Amino acid sequence: MKDLLDRILNLPKHQKIGFLAVAILLLLLFDYLFVYSSYSYQIANLEQSVEGARKEREKKRALIADKPKLQEQLQLADGRFKEAMAQLPDRKEIPDLLTNISNRAREVGLEVLLFRPRPEIMQEFYAEVPVDMVVRGKFHDAVGFFDEVGRLSRLVNLNNIEMKNPKPAGEQMNLDTSTLMTAFRFLDDAERAKVAADKAAKEKAAKK
């Protein structure tokens, strides 16, 4: 890999720019074909897992008073529920998660030009936490950073990745890279109740 990078860095400037353009196109194609579809699949599976585990747990709780033998089954249901939710932080953990991501970008050598959270989008049992992010730095640093974000234990989605404004920086090129980063958090009981109530109210109004 190092030999390949060295050969690329030794290319004439116009060839570097051509290689960079091809690399950006490949990155955008990868983002569309693999990252977006992969995260959509993960969210759908996670939603099914959490909802199934929740229903199973509540069913066991309802029976536990009359059937002590179900205690072990209840513990197993609790375990599966916690495992499904391990990928989603709660509301109080989100600021630390976002701060850690921003700090990590700086640690790998990127300049954070923009890190602006948008309003949360409430779903049935989780909330989407979208963040507009723009960083400036070398191509391989940006790619490495996004790869690290994708490997976090917490589920974080990266969409609409765009690289532009290439500028020479010594023997390399600096780029401005923007993305819509979306974290996900678990709704507490009160929030889920409100989401359910709002949904019921909308359905009732639609029937009138």
Q: Is the pLDDT of residue 90 over 90?
A: no
Residue numbers of the domain that contains 157: 2-207
Tokens matching residue 144? 């490495």
The residue type of 101 is I
Q: Report the C-alpha gap between 135 and 143 in whole angstroms.
A: 11
Per-residue confidence (pLDDT) for residue 2, from 0 to 100: 46
Least confident of 55-69, 116-130, 149-163, 175-189: 55-69
Structure-model confidence comparison of residues 12 and 76, the more confident one: 76
- The number of domains in the chain is 1
Per-residue confidence (pLDDT) for residue 56, from 0 to 100: 77
**What is the 3-state secondary structure of 92-140?**
HHHHHHHHHHHHHHHHCCCEEEEEEECCCEECCCEEEEEEEEEEEEEHH
Q: Is the pLDDT of residue 10 over 80?
A: no
Least confident of 144-148, 150-154, 186-190: 150-154
Structure-model confidence comparison of residues 8 and 173, the more confident one: 173
What's the pLDDT band for 21 if we cut at 50, 70, 90? low
Per-residue confidence (pLDDT) for residue 13, from 0 to 100: 57
Q: Report the C-alpha gap between 173 and 110 in whole angstroms.
A: 13
Per-residue confidence (pLDDT) for residue 19, from 0 to 100: 57
pTM across the whole model: 0.61
- Say which CATH number the domain at 177 has: 3.30.70.60
What's the pLDDT band for 1 if we cut at 50, 70, 90? very low
Q: Report the C-alpha gap between 133 and 2 in whole angstroms.
A: 29
What's the pLDDT band for 100 if we cut at 50, 70, 90? very high
195 phi, psi to nearest 5 deg: -60, -45
Per-residue confidence (pLDDT) for residue 135, from 0 to 100: 96
Structure-model confidence comparison of residues 62 and 179, the more confident one: 179
- pLDDT, tens only, 114-133: 999 999 999 888 899 999 99
